[in-house]
Amino acid sequence: MTEKPSFAGQRWHDMGGGAAGAVPKDQHDFSLWEKRVDALMIIASSQGHFTVDGLRRVLEDMGEEAFETMTYYERWIAAVNQNLIEAGVYTTAELAQRMTAVAARGTTYGEAASE
Amino acid sequence: MPHDHHDHLSPSGHPYRPDDDHPLTYWQQMEIAVRELLIEKGVTTAAAINAQIETMDARSPAHGAAVVARAWTDHDFRAALLKDASAATRDMGFDIGPMRLIALENTDTIHNIVVCTLCSCYPRNLLGLPPDWYKSRAYRSRTVKEPRKVLAEFGVTLPDSTTVRVHDSTADMRYVVIPQRPAGTDGWQADDLATLVTRDSMIGTGLAKTPDAA
Amino acid sequence: MSNDRQYMRVRADMPPGHVRTPSYLRGKIGWVERTLGPFPNPEQLAYGLNAQALPLLRVRFSMAEVWGAATAHPNDTIDAEIYSHWLEPAEAPHAP
């Protein structure tokens, strides 16, 4: 940990100028569920249920540990969901019941995604 | 592919990465639930979601390469692109949605490189989704402070006589770099020139390919 | 040429919450590359509020200004988009 700007209050996502290692070059193809998350973000925000800044705000508030331990689209679906609940599109109880129902369909993504 | 349902194929008809067969994760469980709730609430439809995925899949660096190659060969288009890149790319027929784009032209004395230090803003509506490294802590942290060291990791070494201009995508604009046209391409048509324009050259971490390397 | 530059200092504030002004530029002086907008204030958009439309300025900073004169390439630059409420007029940071 060297050369961190000395500003008290700097937030974890505000990375410019921080020390870091070599730029990693490994690349992965996006999977279907990731593309669906991306599509849900674009559709729900274009319809005015939340904004890109609302998404960013939740991602930032999720904190650095989430950045280090969750994948990009894992963080995105968490942030999309948070914004949709805040916007009143559905309730936490509706989400909870649906997630339980989804998990009951099977043990793989393919099974759980098939109603 | 035991779970190769038709709605799990990409628009090209090929299966996506076979994560269908992996154990369901908590976040995938959430994605399915959120998607179904949005459909039930009438916010969207399954068809609209698929259409949005197809739209994103269709966007690729090839679109940006066509824009760059035209700028290399069409003086009026180059001027229009530098004046208003959103309008110029739309006029060329690309659906970039509401994206506000600025084109940054490399010259003998200027090299542009784009980063988003606060998140991962990228001209996705022209070039498709960003590479993983663009979203990495290392790229986001270092590019504004030591761009030439980052460039060296991408195999690009610039003379001291070149000014490096870093562009931090902090707000409403997105950026595409117009790399320099490689030597030895006099008389080339735009379609052939486009094959020399790499994704990285439009982010600024690369140069356009030379004819012998193409 | 540099005499025509409109110099601005980025406010050195460090509020909590969602802002789009990178901390490495706060307190730094750059010159206006171009003016954009108006665009809705992301600090209100982020919380689902009606957002005020603000000018957005592309400000260009020298590496020397941001990272100190000892930086390897002091004349390389950083451009960033900064909303107007983060900026205040300033004098040029260094004598040419």
Interface test with A, best of C23, C39, C81 (most A CBs within 10 A): C23
For position B213, what pLDDT does the model report?
Answer: 78
Q: Is B116 a catalytic residue?
A: yes
Separation of alpha carbons B188 and C42, rounded Å: 45
In order, the DSSP letters of C40-54 are E-HHHHTTT----EE
Separation of alpha carbons B188 and B197, rounded Å: 13
Interface test with C, best of B112, B156, B172 (most C CBs within 10 A): B172
pLDDT, tens digit (0-9, with 9 covering 90-100), for A61-96: 999 999 999 999 999 999 999 999 999 999 999 999
For position C93, what pLDDT does the model report?
Answer: 87
Whether ipTM tops 0.90, in short, is: yes
Q: Is B10 a catalytic residue?
A: no
Separation of alpha carbons A12 and C92, rounded Å: 31
Separation of alpha carbons B31 and B39, rounded Å: 12
Chain B residue with minimum CA distance to A72:
B135
| Domain range list for chain C | 2-89
Second CATH level (architecture) for the domain C2-89: Roll (2.30)
Angle at alpha carbon of residue B89, lines to A76 and B170, rounded to 5°? 40
| Domain range list for chain B | 18-57, 60-213
CB B96, CB B89: distance < 8 Å: yes
Q: What is the CATH number of domain A32-112?
A: 1.10.472.20
Q: How many CB pairs lie under 8 A apart between chains A and C?
A: 49
Buried b vs exposed e over B30-67: b needs ≥16 C-beta within 10 Å? bbbbbbbbbeeeebbeeeebeebbeebeebebebbbbb
pLDDT, tens digit (0-9, with 9 covering 90-100), for B89-139: 999 999 999 999 999 999 999 999 999 999 999 999 999 999 999 999 999
For position A78, what pLDDT does the model report?
Answer: 98
For position A1, what pLDDT does the model report?
Answer: 37
Which residue shows structure tokens 């790499």? B198
Buried b vs exposed e over A62-89: b needs ≥16 C-beta within 10 Å? beeebbeeeebbbbbbbbbbbbbeeeeb
Separation of alpha carbons B170 and C56, rounded Å: 11
On chain A, the residues whose CB falls within 8 A of the CB of C15 are 9
Q: What is the CATH number of domain B60-213?
A: 3.90.330.10
Q: Between B164, B168, B169, which is nearest C76 by CB?
A: B164
Radius of gyration of chain B (CA): 20
Any CB–CB contact under 8 A between C47 and chain A? Answer: yes
Task: State the pairing for strand pair C53-62/C29-40.
Answer: antiparallel
**Helix, strand counts (H, E) of chain C:** 2, 5
